[in-house]
Structure 1
Amino acid sequence: MNTKQLNETSKFLSYVLRHEPHAIGLQLDSEGWADIDSLIAGAAKDGRILDIALIQAVVSSSDKKRFTISDDGLRIRAVQGHSTASVSLQHVEKEPPEFLYHGTATRFLESIRQQGLIAGSRHHVHLSQDITTAIAVGQRYGKPVVLKIEALRMYQQGFKFFQAENGVWLTNHVPANLVSEKD
């Protein structure tokens, strides 16, 4: 398996496991799990050749740990980033560190200054504990900027925080007054 094949498969899995499972006739349960055999069959109808070895290679090689396979090896899910209404992952509430970071593009700054950070089509706002990850995320959308979030202060004010299996921090909304540009 080459890097291109792994990247293309990862993007396809993100698409169907986070956003559009019905595009290939796939059913996700409320926790986002899909039957791997059904995923392979649905992908084949879409003209994509997947097998268990390729899926396992994508899961294990993903530096961001986007996907997880069930303990019995029969199901797969995206660990966060869902926009499909059929999925409602039950993350455990957790106290965040003092600061978390959010990577975005400079073109979104004006909107963020007015509205804060909102989930948009996803279920949560995604935050990271380290600046390097935030920069990498921001670069996907244009000229990157890192925002510093007063996470602990938010938590003390009653905002709920969760941490996904891959370490990404999740919250519903970040008010504009608790967001600043990282120096």
Structure 2
Amino acid sequence: MLNSKQEESLSKFMSKILRHTPEQFGIELDHEGYCDIRDLINGIKSEKRWSAVSESDIKQVVDHCPKQRYEIVNGYIRANYGHSSGRLEYKEAIPPSILLHGTNAKVAAVILSEGIKPMGRKYVHLSEGVEFASLAGKRRGELVILQVDTQRAVQDNVKFYLANNGVWLADFVPARYLTKFQ
């Protein structure tokens, strides 16, 4: 059983591998970003620090990750979002009437005037709940949560995609649909 510090460290390493550098660890992702969990374990074990990592350690990270970054299905694992190579395709869907975006006070005014851009990611990340928006936004400074009027946005042909676990994606959210969340 990993302690919380080890769990966080392993989660970051898994993210690096699954989201950014799978090929450096001999891992080939399928078109949906999955790989065999045994391949991931072998890749992780290539680092001396993680030579004793087990499938139960991986499952512990997946089960305890507050951002629900990973998904395991039938012995295959993937990072749910944030891939830097390729772009996972998600089904377009009608979102709840309001979605939230966590950011920091330093950039909130810019976002409110220019809209939410992917900023080096493949999609804009939005959430149904305050908890996830807070997790996403507070890591970069003073938290500001923005609210997206998705009903108006959908009427104007802004497309939203359901990732999973209450996470929604968009290519871009224009400023006219944004307000500060109360």
Q: TM-score, normalised by structure 1?
A: 0.89
Amino acid at match of 1:115: E
Output the CA distance in 2 between the equivalents of 1:54 and 1:132: 25
Q: Which residue of 1 aligns with 2:147?
A: 148
- State whether structure 2 residue 68 is matched by structure 1 residue 68: no
Amino acid at match of 2:63: S
Amino acid at match of 1:135: S
Q: Which residue of 2 aligns with 1:54?
A: 57
Deviates more, 1:47-56 or 1:171-180: 47-56
Deviations 1:42-86 (A, max 9, x none): 222232232211111111222332211122x2x21011222222x
Q: Which residue of 2 aligns with 1:112?
A: 111
Q: Which residue of 1 aligns with 2:181?
A: 182
Root-mean-square deviation (Å)? 1.6
Q: How does 1:1-183 map to 2 (within 5 A)?
A: 1=1, 2-47=3-48, 48-49=50-51, 50-71=53-74, 73=75, 75-85=76-86, 88-183=87-182
| Count of residues paired in the alignment | 179
3-state DSSP of counterpart to 2:9: helix
Q: CA deviation at 1:131?
A: 2.1
3-state DSSP of counterpart to 2:81: coil
Amino acid at match of 2:66: D
Deviations 1:62-120 (A, max 9, x none): 2332211122x2x21011222222xx323221111111110001111243134211112
3-state DSSP of counterpart to 1:40: helix
Q: CA deviation at 1:25?
A: 3.0
Q: TM-score, normalised by structure 2?
A: 0.90
The structure 1 segments of at least 4 consecutive aligned residues displaced by more than 3 Å after TM superposition are none
Amino acid at match of 2:69: R
Output the CA distance in 2 between the equivalents of 1:123 and 1:62: 21
Output the CA distance in 1 between the equivalents of 2:34 and 2:145: 32
Change (3 A) 1:115 1:20: farther
Q: CA deviation at 1:147?
A: 0.5
Alpha-carbon contact 2:67-2:135 (below 8 Å) kept:
no
3-state DSSP of counterpart to 2:12: helix
Structure 2 unmatched runs, 5+: none
Identity %: 39
3-state DSSP of counterpart to 1:174: coil
Alpha-carbon contact 2:101-2:126 (below 8 Å) kept:
yes
